[in-house]
Structure 1
Amino acid sequence: MSVRYNKLWKILVDKKLNKTQFRDTVDISNQTLSKLSKNQFVSLEVLDRICDVLKCNIGDIVEHISEKGVETKKAELRVVSLFSGIGGFESGIDSSNISAKVVFASEIEKFATLSYQSNYPDHMLVGDITKIHETDIPDHDILVGGFPCQAFSIAGKRNGFKDTRGTLFFEVAKILKEKTPRIVLLENVENLINHDKSNTIRTILLTLSELGYTVDFTILNSSEMGVPQNRSRTFILGIKNFPSEPYKEDFRSQKISSLKKELNLDDNFNGFNFFNDLKSNNEDKYIKDILENSVDSKYYFDSKKVQNYIDSLEIPKINSEKKIIKVFDFPKEVHNDQERQRRVHSIEGISPTILARSDTTKILVEVDGKLKVRKLTPIENMRIQGFDEAFIDNIKNIGMSDTQMYKQSGNAVSPPVISEIFNLINDSILHKKRR
């Protein structure tokens, strides 16, 4: 996907403005003017400024065109990514077996956008999605996003689409209504299923069905897909105009099974069974498999009080198991912190859910024959989400701080989960259609 600004130059001719006058009026640099002249991507802020001056919409000056005759690995399905973070969905799609290309992405957080651009410099990445009119989004086949969990204002009757106004999910729904992509995949926190007495997820599902999507949803744990972390998240998949069928019991969650039984009674709701066919890849991966060989001393808890306490313990041999293995909790008088932050885990197990902060998982390691406690490094935090080395290196190489890398990894979706979902979409939906 590329851009063309022929319509912009026509407007300038109609307004009797040459390019120099246009540059000065809009207050853009020579470099930006050159990009426009060469039909290269410019920021949404520049396009907004141009439209403010010329009194037009972005669609009046920009054309998105397909690159015919150019062979690329990812050129078949067009993807729009919302609330993109550092690109977890993109990374997962890249490693899946579908052929796809991101044509538009949106992320509002400054440092996350820098990390995103370190890996995807050619993607059209814009800021606040609430400032973008849905008609200005490029046409696409797939929409993905991990939107924030927000309650809806529901007064009495269930109004679907209307109930979502004022939330970030409404931005998703507006785009789906306008652009009608065939596939939508959304991710949210595990507690979405319980949020506001399940009214939040119920409204999301009803809205998607109202917009013509047949929907399935579940709670997936990243550990199912070979990620050495206990990380449960809600996933919602919608397929446009897909055959509907009664929900079967969800083997992962009794709460979801109960909601599915309720939705089966709604004649106007369209559901189908997808996630029950998504099987664990059975890869045994543990914390020990993602550790760096050499770790700076700043990540260790090496005060004399802490080390004396560790030395006083008798630690039994621990065998590898695909579960969280707690070795011990520091007493508060030894390490004064909240209970979760005083917990030390074995590297023979998997990590608890990493959060968007620096006080990440603490582990017991052996250094020169001596047991010590340290936290995961920012690179290990990225690895424990399933990001590959090249992806992590690109972020590290732009000088991203430890604090931001901890935050970004904790906010991210696990790419291997996305990859496995799209592998199944390809095999059971896209490939099935072609046969």
Structure 2
Amino acid sequence: MLRVTSLFCGCGGMDKGILGGFDYLGHYYAKLPFEIVYAADNDPYAIKIYNDNFTHHAELKDVRDIMAHELPDHDILLGGFPCQSFSIVAQNPPRLGYKDEKGKLFFEMVKVLKEKQPRFFIAENVKGLLSANNKQAFPMILREFEQAGYHIHYKLLNASEYGVPQKRERVFMVGFRDFDDYFKFQFPSMLPERVPLKFALDAQANLDEKWFFSPKAVEGMLRVRAKMNKGRVQDLEQPCNTISAHLAKVSLNGTDPVLMIGERYRRFSPREAANIQSFPLDFQFDSVSDNRQYRAIGNAVPPVLMWHVANALAEIV
């Protein structure tokens, strides 16, 4: 078993994926040869969800307060470091990237890598990282990881090409201390078929009025839809558009994905959002409010996408 330390663990999407051993939409994702020896995040609600779902427990802690030398020895460092600074969506204020406090948090991963020198690391971030700071942020981040002693493969992966019913693009960086490991590794091949959104929906949500938009909200959207390109009704036969952490505040006047049920518009329930993100049905979120569920789910790495990356790594160890 290879030991894993998980920084910025959130509610556990990356961690569920790297452990494996779960069912999703009728497919079994095999248990992988990894165990988590330490996990931490600074969001108490995400930690509550995490600790409801794993036998090991994550610590509520700001990663900046972690002393690298006090961490348990590990073979893999995981980190979906905060991405708001790099997101293409986050244009107001303009993307500050690594000049912003949240954008600097990847340095905490670098600090741990320098101190602990694990065999591998896996970092994940939004597509906007590639273009942030006039395309200066990403090369700088790679350089920092390289200076910590790592050879790096990186790739922009679309979750919809790996069995997830969502068009979600994320950059994965996989670092290798040893060149032999770097030489052997290949990112997973995309799957031949896309999973349609309809398989992630919950018919029970159609019976609950709280998920439907009011007639007033619909009227307002219809008045301006022609010139605003809003009201993003999803095609149930295709993967869903990217879901985000602000699903709790989803608006018909925004670019968020919504459903049309008969003649009515509705938002996704938290369970549907979790399904779209590829969390297994037995992964529990309901110990926190709907708003906190949406936020944790929207910020997560899809477990099935992470499983494919982790499985590719498992093939070389």
- When the two structures are superposed, what TM-score results if normalisation uses the length of structure 2? 0.82
Q: Is 1:299 matched with 2:235?
A: no
Aligned twin of 1:409? 297
Cα distance between partner residues in 1 of 2:16 and 2:153:
23
Name the Cα RMSD after superposition: 2.7
Alpha-carbon offset, residue 121 of structure 1: 4.9
Between structure 1 and structure 2, the one with the greater Rg is 1
Contact 2:158/2:169, CA 8 A, preserved across alignment: yes
SS at match of 1:112: helix
Q: Quick one: which amino acid aligns to residue 194 of structure 1?
A: S
Q: Deviations over 1:143-174 (max 9, x none)?
A: 11111245446xxxxxxxxxx9x921111111
State the AA in 2 paired with 1:294. Answer: Q
Deviation at 1:107, TM superposition (A): 0.4
Give 1:126 shift. Answer: 3.5
Match of 2:164 in 1: 227
1:290 is the counterpart of 2:200: yes
Letter in 2 for 1:377: S
Match of 2:105 in 1: 168
Q: Does 1:420 align with 2:308?
A: yes
| Cα 1:173–1:344 shift into 2, 3 Å | same
User: How big is the shift at 1:294?
Assistant: 1.2
Runs of 4+ aligned structure 1 residues displaced above 4 Å come to 271-275
CA contact (8 A) 1:214 1:243 kept: no
Among 123, 129, 138, the alignment partner of 2:57 is 123
Q: Name the CA distance, whole Å, in 1 between partners of 2:70 and 2:221.
A: 54
3-state DSSP of counterpart to 2:203: coil
Establish whether residue 112 from structure 1 lines up as the match of residue 46 from structure 2. Answer: yes
* Matched-pair identity in %: 34
Change (3 A) 1:411 1:332: farther
Higher relative contact order, chain-length normalized (CA < 8 Å, sep 6+) = 2
Q: Structure 1 residues 404, 136: closer, same or farther in 2, change over 3 A? A: same
* d(CA) in 2 for partners of 1:284, 1:172: 33
Which moved further from structure 2: 97-106 or 186-195? 97-106
Residue correspondences, number: 286
Runs of 5+ unmatched residues, structure 2: 21-29, 86-96, 251-255
Q: Structure 2 CA distance, aligned partners of 1:187 and 1:304?
A: 40
**Which one-letter code corresponds to 1:413 in the other structure?**
V
Structure 1, unaligned runs of 5 or more: 1-75, 154-163, 245-270, 310-328, 431-435
Any conservation in 1 of the 2:47–2:58 contact (CA below 8 Å)?
no
- Residue identity in the other structure for 1:119: N
Q: 1:355 aligns with which of 237, 244, 248?
A: 244
Distance 1:283 1:126 in 2: 39
Partner of 1:209: 146
CA–CA distance in structure 2, aligned partners of residues 361 and 171 of structure 1: 34
Aligned counterpart, 1:395? 285
Deviation string, structure 1 residues 255-297 (Cα, Å, up to 9, x no partner): xxxxxxxxxxxxxxxx75845x421123432111111121211
Per-residue deviation, 1:302: 5.0
Alignment CA distance shift 1:301-1:134 (3 Å): same
Counterpart check, 1:193 vs 2:81: no
For the 8 Å contact 1:354–1:410, the answer to whether it is kept is: yes
Q: Which moved more, 1:199-208 or 1:412-421?
A: 199-208
| Distance (whole Å) between structure 1 residues aligned to residue 167 and residue 314 of structure 2 | 26
